[in-house]
A = this chain, B = another copy of it.
Amino acid sequence: MGAATEDDRVRVALIGSGRMGAFHGATLAARLPNARLVTVVDPAPGAAERLAREFGVDSSTDMAAVLADDGVDAVVIAAPARFHTELVVAAAAAGKAVFCEKPMAVSLADADRAIAAAHAAGVPLQVGFNRRFAPDWAAARALLDDGTVGTPRLLRSVTRDPGGFDPGRVPADTIFLETLIHDFDTLLFLNPGVEPVEVHATADALVEPDWKDRGLLDTAVVTVTFANGSIGVAEACFQATYGYDVRGEVFGSGGMATMGDGRTSGMTFSGPAGRVTTTVRSDQELLAGAYVAELAAFAEAVRRGTEAVVTGVDARRALSIALAAAESVRTGRSVRIADPTP
């Protein structure tokens, strides 16, 4: 019963069993019509096993064996960021389609390696820029594509985390490479076909001032000038008392689209304190649908043999802004972007 259908679904190995691994795993295990989780891989003994048991699938500590398994069509990489590029290269070399959480790479050379590996293997490579799949952002992009917004003039993308981070575990430049990388991609997504040409950044340690001398920046504003003169502002902070705050704005010759309604629901309570709406506490809550949609889109690209909708080249473009922003903070000067899409 139903066997024919199951054959159709993309068989996915999940790499990594941390917070994002568990989240993507739950989606792959039960929420997608076109993909199914077959195994969880993590080199740490016991980690993959615990998660796999929850989903009722296999587990492994042996990456090579999983990549060699013909019963696996694709991998979803949710390992720590520093392993991302190597995992992309290895999985592509093994002929697996690759979905990689951001950042795909933290240097342009690594980005180029990852892109080349996927290209050489002829496999789809998709990067986890989830906002492109969030309804607000997709709707804004549709108004750009149909001409309603006109030519973009001013853009904005904001990310504020609810906080609770451990400053001792956050690498330097994280705010650019792991947080604002989403916003840089968003600015590019909302300014389709236009290259970024110059970046200026200001940043400080305002949440955890004691960590500033160790290089931890937790608050930043980055201005990106584009080839057509339009100007984007990306802004982040690692602590917001009201929850996870992701918003965007694109203002063009035809009008403005605004995105990001961080309410937990449409219910509003009016009481002695006024009108109160509760707000979301986490990215997984705010972007729940987007996380599902990006994996569904990835599985569809695998099934149909088409290019992924957010590619390694997209990751490289966002990375080129992130690296320029970090340099701008170090030098106090604007930084030109030589070649975002070589």
> Scoring A residues 26 to 63 as 1 if CB is less than 8 Å from chain B, else 0, what string do you get?
10011111000010000000000000000111100000
- Residue ID in chain B nearest A274 by CB atoms: B278
Q: How far is the CA of A235 from the CA of B66 in the complex (A)?
A: 52
- Residue ID in chain B nearest A134 by CB atoms: B265
Would A273 and B270 count as touching, CB distance under 8 A?
no
Give the copy number.
4
Q: How far is the CA of A278 from the CA of B257 in the complex (A)?
A: 12
Chain B residues near A275 (CB-CB < 8 A)? 242, 263, 276-279
Would A139 and B274 count as touching, CB distance under 8 A?
no
Selected interface stretch from A165-173, A221-229, A319-327: A221-229
Interface centre among A209, A230, A259, A271, by most B CB within 10 Å?
Answer: A271
Chain B residues near A272 (CB-CB < 8 A)? 241-242, 255
- The A1-27 residues at the B interface (CB cut-off 8 A) are 1-6, 8, 26
Binding site for B on A (CB under 8 A): 1-6, 8, 26, 29-33, 38, 55-58, 135-140, 143, 148-151, 153-154, 160, 198, 200, 202, 204-207, 209, 219-221, 223, 225, 229-231, 233, 235, 237, 239-243, 245, 251, 253-261, 263-279, 332-334
Would A223 and B237 count as touching, CB distance under 8 A?
no
Would A231 and B221 count as touching, CB distance under 8 A?
yes
Would A1 and B270 count as touching, CB distance under 8 A?
no
Interface centre among A4, A239, A263, A270, by most B CB within 10 Å?
Answer: A270
**Given A251-B160, A258-B267, A277 contacting B278 (CB threshold 8 A):** no
Chain B residues near A273 (CB-CB < 8 A)? 273, 276, 278
Would B231 and A202 count as touching, CB distance under 8 A?
yes
Q: Which of B2, B160, B223 contacts A202 (CB 8 A)?
A: B223
Q: How far is the CA of A334 from the CA of B331 in the complex (A)?
A: 11
- Residue ID in chain B nearest A1 by CB atoms: B58
